[in-house]
Amino acid sequence: MRRVDGEYRWHHVRAEPLRDREGRIVEWYGLSVDIDEGKKIEERLRRSEAYLAEAQRLTHTATAAYDATKILYFSDEAFRLFGFDPLQGLPSREAVWQRIHPDDVDTVNEKIEHALRERRSFQNEFRLKLPDGTLKHVEADILPVFSATGEFVEIIATAVDVTERKCAEDTLRRGEAWLAQAQRLSHTGTWVLNGTNEAFSVLVGRELPHLGV
């Protein structure tokens, strides 16, 4: 609605008719409540949620919250990371746990139990194995939340997909292992020179003679 000063503001309007004995409307009674500030807060919240969702998408960071029995919140990136369809609604806690690699489930549960006993946040690293066989590496930060009386309320978790980094690290390690094996078999040494032409690292146990400038 437009105010006398020309500003348009959101209002919640309700009207009820007053009828005579024949059911004809005699007059209307109305109530108008200015809800403009509430609408602005809702809009700011929607923008904040949109910014957060985009930031999580760009950084491959998922957010979730769960209690002892169910999932309370699952971000869009969490659906993507764990391979669930958001159109199907929140997955069950059991369904989420089934996506954790069987070899890592016990470790994940042990760390959660330890965090609950210690009442502190902790970091966790585990693998996901999706139904199609896709394997993902995940690093998670877990924060247990307790009520004022000390009762467990929920766990808030953020998880980052580090699969690409893990694959790169594995490739680098394999490359270094193959290089070391090739050098050993071929009796080939490798050294590195710094900016002053001084040798500071010699592999295969040989001393590199001093090189003058």
CA distance 112 to 119: 10
Q: 29: exposed, middle or buried (C-beta count within 10 Å: 0-12, 13-18, 19+)?
A: exposed
How confident is the model at residue 203, as a pLDDT?
Answer: 44
Give the residue from 200, 207, 204, 208 showing the smallest Cα distance to 180: 204
Q: pTM of the prediction? A: 0.57
How confident is the model at residue 16, as a pLDDT?
Answer: 86
* Residue 35 · residue 25 · CB < 8 Å: no
How confident is the model at residue 211, as a pLDDT?
Answer: 52
Q: Could you list the pLDDT tens digit for every one of the 213 residues in the chain?
A: 777 778 888 878 888 888 888 888 888 888 878 877 877 777 776 776 665 666 566 667 899 999 989 999 999 899 999 999 999 999 999 999 999 999 999 999 999 998 899 998 888 899 999 999 999 999 999 999 999 999 999 999 999 998 887 766 666 666 566 656 665 666 565 555 554 444 444 444 445 455 554
How confident is the model at residue 52, as a pLDDT?
Answer: 61
Q: Both tokens of residue 64?
A: 């979730």
How confident is the model at residue 91, as a pLDDT?
Answer: 96
* DSSP H or E segment with residue 137: strand 135-146
